[in-house]
Structure formats: structure tokens, C-alpha cells
Amino acid sequence: MTGERRPLISGNWKMNHNHFEAIQAVQKLSYLLSANDYDAVDVSVHPPFTDMRSVQTVLQSDEIPVALGAQDCHWEAAGAFTGEVAPAMLAKLDVSLVIVGHSERRQLFGETDEVVNKKVKAVLAAGMTPIMCCGETLEEREAGTTEARVAGQVRAGLAGVPPEQVASLVVAYEPIWAIGTGRVATPEDAQAVCLGIRQVVRDDSGNAAADSVRIQYGGSVKPVSAPDLMRQPDIDGALVGGASLDPEEFARIIAYRLVG
Ligand code: 13P
């Protein structure tokens, strides 16, 4: 972490927790977090759509300074798109962050870079912040094409986004081989790719955007691995899957700065 970038630790719950479980999870998390945590770190939770209204009500009524996030959305404002959710519907629920282009969306649901780019723009247009995901497969890493793959995803995903908006958004580097596998990238490897992402932003959107854009690492982040990852100069946060489902584990990740 360098400069003015505030760390952002986000919990991507994926397709886990019904709305009762979600309420319990955020309440438990709020008991575990302190003013010191909120002073030092931005925190967000990204529940499934069905939980969102319940979680919003708890965060609001208990004045819990955890940001509400979504895991995806459609790019159109409204219309005949069965099963989809529009950005403005999320904004109305006080959602402030939307994950876009998660590798599971890309691999399992056929999302292309072009779709990711449309979603990034739609999220920004609705006044929310995209967390745009990128990351290589194991084959790409072994073939030595990680940097090119990730650079291509970042370039395509952010194409046509004005530099001042790029400055405000979040890029999540999530190597696919590290997601849900327990196999975390080494801090050095993660730092190298995150530096590369910042360089792509520098080349395409200028120094101000590159110095402000926040870059998260995601992929088997646990309380034990978070401190060394977060110490890297170009890693500004974490996108946490499995470990964010357990409030105690997630709170320990958020308290990474108290370790060592
Ligand atoms: P895990 O932390 O379970 O590996 O998931 C990472 C992830 O995909 C977050 O978006």
C-alpha cells in the first residue's frame, strides 16, 4: 500500500447464505469489527441478490459502516432480460460496489471482455464502483503468458472509460488457479502482476489514474496469508471468497495490519 489509496477488503459470498444467514453474518461481523478497523480499511460484503434488501436494512438500521456490494449486474437500464438485475436497482438499495467479470462469470457463464466492458460502464453510469476482475488460468501461468493475458483483460475491460473514472474504480487480480483451491499466489508473484496492472493503467489512462486505482488480490486469501499480501506496494486490498463466509475469519483478515 502506498500513497492515498485506502485498503478495500471485500467479501464475495458467491452463491452462499440465504437471507437469514446473511443477516446473522453481517451482525456477527459488526460485533467483531471496531472503529479502528473502519478507520484503517474499507470493508464490503457481496451477498446474493436475494439477501440484499435484508442486509441493507441491517447495515442501515445498526449504522454499520460496511459497504454493500453486488456480485454482478446487467448492463442495460431496463427491459426484457429475464433473470437479470439492472444497475439502478442495485444503486437504489445503497449498493456501492459491483463485482464485474469474475472468472466464474467468464468461465461458467460465457462473459466476454466486451460484456465486462459494458458492465463496467453501466455500473459507473449508475454512480457505483466496479470491482473489475482479471486473472490467468494455470495453463496460461505455466506458458508464461500471465502478464499478457491480464493486461489484455484490463485493457479491454476499461476501454473507453475516462481516466477520472478509472481512478475511482477497483481492479481485482484473481489468478484462477488460486480461487477456492487453497493455493494462494506468493506475495511476490501477486505483487508483480498487480504492478503490471498498474502499468497498463498508467500507459492507457495516465499517472493520476494509475496512482489512484485500487488493486485487490483474490484467491484463497486467509488470515494467515493476508498480512504479507497486503504489505505489497501495489496490492491495495483483498477480494475474499470462502474465508468471508465465516465472520470470524473475515474479521481476522480485515485486521491484517495488526499481525507482525
Ligand atoms: P476464494 O477466496 O474462496 O479462493 O475465492 C476467491 C474469489 O473468487 C473471490 O472473488
pLDDT in tens, the chain (260 residues): 445 899 999 999 999 999 999 999 999 999 999 999 999 999 999 999 999 999 999 999 999 999 999 999 999 999 999 999 999 999 999 999 999 999 999 999 999 999 999 999 999 999 999 999 999 999 999 999 999 999 999 999 999 999 999 999 999 999 999 999 999 999 999 999 999 999 999 999 999 999 999 999 999 999 999 999 999 999 999 999 999 999 999 999 999 998 76
Indicate which atom in ligand 1 lies nearest the CA of residue 182.
4
Which residue among the candidates 17, 74, 102, 111 is catalytic per the annotation? 102
The verdict on whether 174 is a catalytic residue reads yes
Distance CA(98)–CA(201), nearest Å, equals: 20
Indicate which atom in ligand 1 lies nearest the CA of residue 133.
10
First to last CA, the chain: 16
Distance CA(205)–CA(45), nearest Å, equals: 29
Indicate which atom in ligand 1 lies nearest the CA of residue 222.
2
Which residue has the CA at smallest separation from atom 2 of ligand 1?
241
Alpha helix (H) ranges present in the chain? 19-32, 35-40, 52-61, 87-92, 103-109, 113-125, 138-142, 146-157, 163-168, 187-205, 207-212, 226-230, 247-254
Which residue has the CA at smallest separation from atom 9 of ligand 1?
241
- Mapped onto helix, strand or coil, the DSSP state of residue 255 is coil
Whether 242 lines ligand 1, by a CB cut-off of 6 Å, is yes
Distance 99 CA to ligand 1 centre (A): 12
The crossing angle, in degrees rounded to 10, of helices 146-157 and 113-125 is: 40
- The CATH number for 8-258, chosen from 3.30.70.580, 3.20.20.70, 3.40.50.410, 3.40.50.150, is 3.20.20.70
Distance CA(197)–CA(186), nearest Å, equals: 17
Distance 219 CA to ligand 1 centre (A): 5
Which residue among the candidates 104, 136, 140, 174 is catalytic per the annotation? 174
Q: Where are the domains of the chain?
A: 8-258
* pTM for the predicted model, two decimal places: 0.97
